[in-house]
C-alpha cells in the first residue's frame, strides 16, 4: 500500500520516503488516485491518502461478503464465517492501560506491575462502587444455599 498517512510501524522508512517524494520531490502534488480532506478553517493539517487503487465495489463478489473485498489485502470470505472469538488473545496482546496511561507489551505482566496494582487498589474505583451500590441484588448463594443476598462488591 502506498499510504502516506497512518501507516503501520513496519513501514516507517518507506513512509518517510513516500511522504518526502510526495511533498518535496513531486512538488507537493499528491499522487493519484488520492483523496484529501482539509478543515475549512485551514488551521489544521490536511489529511490525504494516495491509494494503490481507487476503491470500487465489485458486483461480482460473492454474497454475503463485502463488495469492497478487493480494496484490502484480505481475500474475501476466508475468515468471516463460523469463527468464534479468538482465544487467549488478551494474555499475549500488548496494549494501552488507561489507568496507568502507559503502553504495555504483555497484559498479564502489566497487570502485575506495582504501578498498576497500586492503581487497582486505589480509591479511583469509588465512582464505580457508588453506582453499584444503587443496584439491588437478587442473587442467592448457590453453594451454601443461604437465603440471603450476598452481593458485596469488594
Q: Of 49, 71, 116, 125, which one interacts with Zn ion (CB under 5 A)? A: 116
Our finding on whether 8 is near other proteins (CB under 8 A) is: yes
Our finding on whether 97 is near Zn ion (CB under 5 A) is: yes
Non-local CB neighbours of 151 within 8 Å, separated by 6+ positions: 137, 139
Min. distance of Cβ 114 from other proteins in angstroms?
11
Non-local CB neighbours of 103 within 8 Å, separated by 6+ positions: 94, 95, 96, 97
Our finding on whether 90 is near other proteins (CB under 8 A) is: yes
| Three cell numbers written together for 29 | 502534488
Our finding on whether 97 is near other proteins (CB under 8 A) is: yes
Min. distance of Cβ 73 from other proteins in angstroms?
9
CB 68 within 8 A of CB 60: no
Our finding on whether 106 is near other proteins (CB under 8 A) is: no
Cα–Cα distance between 141 and 24 in angstroms, integer? 70
| Three cell numbers written together for 27 | 512538488
Q: How many C-beta atoms lie closer than 10 Å to residue 110's C-beta?
A: 19
Contact string (CB under 8 A) for other proteins, positions 50-79, x = contact = -x-xxxxx-xxx-xxxxxxx-xx-x----x
Our finding on whether 81 is near other proteins (CB under 8 A) is: yes
| Three cell numbers written together for 2 | 502506498
Min. distance of Cβ 11 from other proteins in angstroms?
10
Our finding on whether 120 is near other proteins (CB under 8 A) is: yes
Using CB under 5 A as the binding criterion, the count of chain residues that bind Zn ion stands at 4
Using CB under 8 A as the binding criterion, the count of chain residues that bind other proteins stands at 116
Cα–Cα distance between 137 and 153 in angstroms, integer? 11
Our finding on whether 150 is near other proteins (CB under 8 A) is: yes
Amino acid at each position: 500500500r502506498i499510504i502516506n498517512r497512518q501507516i503501520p510501524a513496519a513501514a516507517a522508512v518507506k513512509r518517510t520516503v513516500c511522504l518526502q517524494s510526495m511533498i518535496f520531490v513531486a512538488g507537493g502534488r499528491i499522487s493519484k488516485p488520492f483523496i484529501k480532506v482539509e478543515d475549512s478553517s485551514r488551521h489544521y493539517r490536511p489529511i490525504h491518502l494516495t491509494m494503490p487503487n481507487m476503491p470500487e465495489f465489485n458486483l461480482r463478489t460473492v454474497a454475503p461478503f463485502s463488495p469492497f473485498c478487493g480494496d484490502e489485502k484480505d481475500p474475501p470470505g476466508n475468515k468471516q464465517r463460523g469463527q468464534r472469538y479468538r482465544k487467549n488473545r488478551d494474555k499475549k496482546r500488548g496494549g494501552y492501560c488507561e489507568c496507568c496511561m502507559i503502553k504495555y507489551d504483555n497484559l498479564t505482566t502489566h497487570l502485575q506491575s506495582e504501578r498498576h496494582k497500586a492503581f487497582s487498589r486505589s480509591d479511583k474505583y469509588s465512582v464505580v462502587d457508588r453506582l453499584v451500590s444503587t443496584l439491588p441484588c437478587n442473587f442467592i448463594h448457590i453453594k451454601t444455599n443461604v437465603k440471603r443476598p450476598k452481593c458485596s462488591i469488594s
